[in-house]
Amino acid sequence: MSSLRGRPLLYTSYEDETRLFPTRAQRVALAIFLLIVVLMPFDLPVIDQLPVIRFLDENYWLKVVNKAMILAIGALGLNLLSGLAGQISLGHAFFMGVGAYTAVYLGGPSTARLWGHGLPVWVWLPAAGVMAALIGILVAPAAIRVRGLYLAVATLGLVFIGVHLSRVFPEIAGPASLGRKWPRLEFRLWKEEEPFLDLTRKGKWLWFEVNQHQKTYFFLLLLVILFAVLSANLTRTRTGRSWAAIRDRDVAAEVMGVPEFRSKTTAFAISSFYAGVAGALLASFSIQLNPESWDLLLSVEFLAILLIGGMGRVSGALAGTFFVVLTPHFVERFVHWMGDKAEGEGLVAGVADGLVSLETADFGIVSVSQTALGFPLPVAAVDDIIYGSLIIVFLLFEPLGLYGVWIKVRNYWKGWPFSY
């Protein structure tokens, strides 16, 4: 037995087999990855050579990554409900809105026209998730009575109800066209004027001088790791296995003793908690959002994240989030890069000039102008085309999304050079 211990995927105990990272190679890769993401926000020569940072610009990419990490928390929650429990929901934006308005009601300032209590972040952030979870528990009995497409349509109605309620209660949501300012990420013991930790201003941590985006990055990174670990561990518990059984065959699972009503209600509650926390963070990160921001398009975006990343997998939800969030920014930067090349000479300039339109009279497929309409296509239209095309391609050719692509690549290199 001692001679076999070095063999890969050889487990000598149940505890070793059920670890999140059972092999030494996975643990080493995880440690290197965490080291990179911790050092990434700092101005280090090695980090500056990374292609993502060089292409997106050092002062710009942190904002994009911070937003991606917030949406990753929401995607992890929907992955538990749709990917693991098999309950297709189009109401994820509604629960994010519930979390956002709970946060602003508890943490926002009180004025003559707006309600607020000015409570610190350690109160309104967990409360946003708890309130969304309670609403999820109330909604679950009605949603559980239907399945499949009917469930998606039923949860879709929540989005329209949420938009209507935001108009009925302008004291919480603010004016319909402007919204209101959300509480910022400032940590106080209670309601004192000066916070002991302010993530919205520059400061000094240990021997590093950090700005507000770097502070927010580390705070969100900690939350993403926490929620990802909880999600991964939840899938291995009795509750997670009951969700998977219901997803695969709900009638057979109920016959075998799986409590369908309780399991689906728990899935709605935990998924809504994730969404509520993500909604509160997104609102605080954006400083000001109008009520129309929590619409159907946001719910569809989360479904697209799971379809592209890989439904039912924590790594798929994370990969899909960063792919969907970063892709439009890469496309925009690439179009502007092509526009700069089009003004030069040579073969590259000729190709760029045929693809990119710099002025109204120029010929080109894509317009650099953000306000362009019709043809040539504006950059935003190109993003939507790529966005929709990727959903169709992954549904037709790779249902497991980016996770499935990674599995094929990994298995290929494991078996190389043999094909059997």
Beta bridge partners of 261: none
Low-confidence winner among 112-126, 204-218, 234-248, 340-354 (lowest mean pLDDT): 340-354
Q: Which residues have CB under 8 Å from 256's CB, separation 6+?
A: 245
pLDDT, tens digit, for every residue of 307-320?
Answer: 999 998 999 999 99
Residue type, 355: L
Query: Phi and psi at residue 205, in whole multiples of 5°?
Result: -115, 120
CB 90 within 8 A of CB 295: no
Q: Phi and psi at residue 294, in whole multiples of 5°?
A: -95, 65
- The predicted pLDDT at position 47 comes to 60
- pLDDT value, residue 276: 96
Of 256, 126, 118, residue with least CA distance to 183: 118
* Cα angle, residue 284 at apex, residues 216 and 106 outer, rounded to 5°: 125
Better-predicted residue by pLDDT, 375 or 115: 115
- Report residue 150's pLDDT band, with 50, 70 and 90 as the boundaries: confident
Answer positive or negative: Cα dihedral of 315, 333, 93, 146.
negative
Distance CA 389, CA 387 (A): 6
- Say whether pLDDT at 1 is over 50: no
The whole-angstrom separation of Cα 238 and Cα 193 is 46
Cα(384)–Cα(77) distance, rounded to whole angstroms?
A: 24
* Average pLDDT, integer, range 256-282: 93
* Out of 47-51, 54-58, 118-122, least confident range: 54-58
Asked if pLDDT for residue 15 goes beyond 80, the answer is no
- Residue range 59-71: average pLDDT? 88
Check pLDDT > 80 for residue 292: yes
- Give the other-Cβ count within 10 Å of 246's Cβ: 23
Q: Is the pLDDT of residue 48 over 70?
A: no
Residue 289 has pLDDT above 50, yes or no: yes
Instruction: Say which amino acid occupies 150.
Output: Y
Look at 232-241, 324-333, 373-382 and tell me which has the smallest mean pLDDT: 373-382
Higher pLDDT, 357 or 191: 191
The pLDDT of residue 4 is above 70: no
Least confident of 119-128, 147-156, 170-179, 334-343: 334-343
What is the number of residues in the chain? 420
Per-domain residue ranges of the chain: 60-294, 335-415
Write down the pLDDT at residue 337: 76
Q: What would the two tokens of residue 278 be?
A: 């993500």
How many Å apart are CA 343 and CA 281, to the nearest integer? 42
Residues 344-383: tens digit of each pLDDT: 776 767 777 777 776 655 666 776 665 555 566 677 777 7
Q: Given this model, what pLDDT does residue 101 score?
A: 94
Q: Phi and psi at residue 66, in whole multiples of 5°?
A: -60, -45
| Pick from 81-90, 199-208, 394-403: least confident | 199-208
Q: How confident is the model at residue 96 (pLDDT cuts 50, 70, 90)?
A: very high
For residue 57, is it left (φ>0), alpha (ψ between -120 and 50) or beta? left
- Which of 54-63, 166-175, 252-261, 287-296 has the least mean pLDDT? 54-63
Can you give the chain as a three-state secondary structure string? CHHHCCCCCCCCCHHHHCCCCCCHHHHHHHHHHHHHHHHCCCCCHHHHCCHHHHHHCHHHHHHHHHHHHHHHHHHHHHHHHHHHCCCCCCCHHHHHHHHHHHHHHHHCCCCCCCCCCCCCHHHHHHHHHHHHHHHHHHHHHHHHCCCCHHHHHHHHHHHHHHHHHHHHCHHHHCCCCCCEECCCCEECCCCCCCCCEECCCCEEECCEEECHHHHHHHHHHHHHHHHHHHHHHHCCCHHHHHHHHHHHHHHHHHHCCCCHHHHHHHHHHHHHHHHHHHHHHHHHHHCEECHHHCCHHHHHHHHHHHHHHCCCCHHHHHHHHHHHHHHHHHHHHHHHHHHHHHCCCCHHHHHHHHHEECCCCCCCCEECCCCCCCCCECHHHHHHHHHHHHHHHHHHHCCCHHHHHHHHHHHHHHHCCCCC
The Cα 97–Cα 104 span in angstroms is 11
Q: Work out whether strand 366-367 and strand 203-205 pair parallel, antiparallel, or are unpaired.
A: unpaired
Closest CA to 272 of 96, 71, 67: 96
What's CA 145's distance to the chain center, in Å? 28
Whether the predicted pLDDT of 7 surpasses 90 = no
Q: Is the peptide bond before 378 cis (omega within 30 degrees of 0)?
A: no
The yes-or-no verdict on residue 204 having pLDDT over 80 is no
Q: Residue 135: is its pLDDT beyond 90? A: yes
With a cut of 60, say whether residue 387 has pLDDT above it.
Answer: yes
